[in-house]
Amino acid sequence: MKKAGTVAIIGRPNAGKSTLLNNLLGHKVSITSPKPQTTRFSIQAVYEDDRGQIIFVDTPGMIGKVVDPLSRRINLEAEHQINAQLDLVIYLVDHTRERDLEENKTFGLVRKFSGPKILVINKIDVVKPTHIVQYKFMEEEFDAVVEISALGRKHLGRLLEVIFDFLPEGKPMVETADLPQPGLNIDSKTFLSEIIREKAFLFLRREVPYSLTAVVDETIERDNGVLYIKARILTSADRYKSMIIGKGGAMIKEISMAARKELETATNKKVYLELTVETDPHWMDAI
């Protein structure tokens, strides 16, 4: 009898949750960034093999200091997932970072889940720095412990084995043939906007804080097969807008070029991306 279940990946910001999900599935479903708070809502994706089906839920990382409505909603979203109908929780920790307020809040959230839990220690390929002793005491509260490298794809097969061990027997919960590639619970415009937002984070790094989002306004497949995408980057202040555009428009061109290449890979189509930047101090209230 095959197995089927819903598994939430929970961890503090930038622990590697999205990288883990992307590499478990073998294709891109969650955006990744070296900055925390990249994932703003829960993304579901389906893994399926001869053993059964796993619906993974990649949750936003818990934010220690809540200073705006967006941060508050992100924390509520993470708390909602732990209270949802889950069969298993994966608690992902990064041993190269010291425990802090965010980690303690996240661990407290995981403790509330009464079902099976797996402690997954990420970045085992990194020797120094390490704060592994700060996480060892947690092991006794979990049903299993697996050490991995999400980025290096180490021991991900072992992790899948352990996940299936704890899942109940059952039929597939969704028909993967009916799902859009790559099998997400989000519509295509959202997926495309997330890729654009990721590229903005990667190029801007510390120059612009998390005061931007991306919106796809229009997608049209033209007669020549080219996918036309009209999108905007929204930011909260004019000073950030100028940084995103860059001198002579250099920065927005870099972001646009990288996003276009990623979009072509994701859609398997030739892409023309029209990307502009706008100031909207109230964009956080709309998401």
Low-confidence ranges of the chain (pLDDT < 50): 30-42, 61-78, 177-187
Question: What are 139-173's pLDDT values in tens digits?
Answer: 999 999 999 999 999 999 999 999 999 999 988 76
Q: State which amino acid sits at residue 169.
A: E
| Residues 142 and 193 grouped into a single domain | no
Q: According to the model, what pLDDT value does residue 205 have?
A: 64
Task: Please check whether residue 120 lies inside any domain of the structure.
Answer: yes
Domain CATH number, residue 103: 3.40.50.300
Task: Please check whether residue 183 lies inside any domain of the structure.
Answer: no
235-to-135, 191, 279, 287 alpha-carbon distances in Å: 37, 19, 5, 13
| Residues 11 and 123 grouped into a single domain | yes
Question: What are 171-211's pLDDT values in tens digits?
Answer: 876 665 444 444 444 446 766 777 788 788 778 765 665 57
Rounded Cα gap, residues 9 and 21, in angstroms: 8
Compute the mean pLDDT over every residue in the chain, rounded to the nearest whole number: 77
| Residues 139 and 103 grouped into a single domain | yes
Total domains present in the chain: 2
Could you tell me how far CA 156 lies from the centroid of its own chain? Answer: 17
Which residue range(s) make up the domain with 215?
Answer: 188-286
Domain boundary among 141, 158, 178: 178
Domain CATH number, residue 207: 3.30.300.20
| Residues 49 and 173 grouped into a single domain | yes
pTM: 0.60
| Residues 166 and 261 grouped into a single domain | no
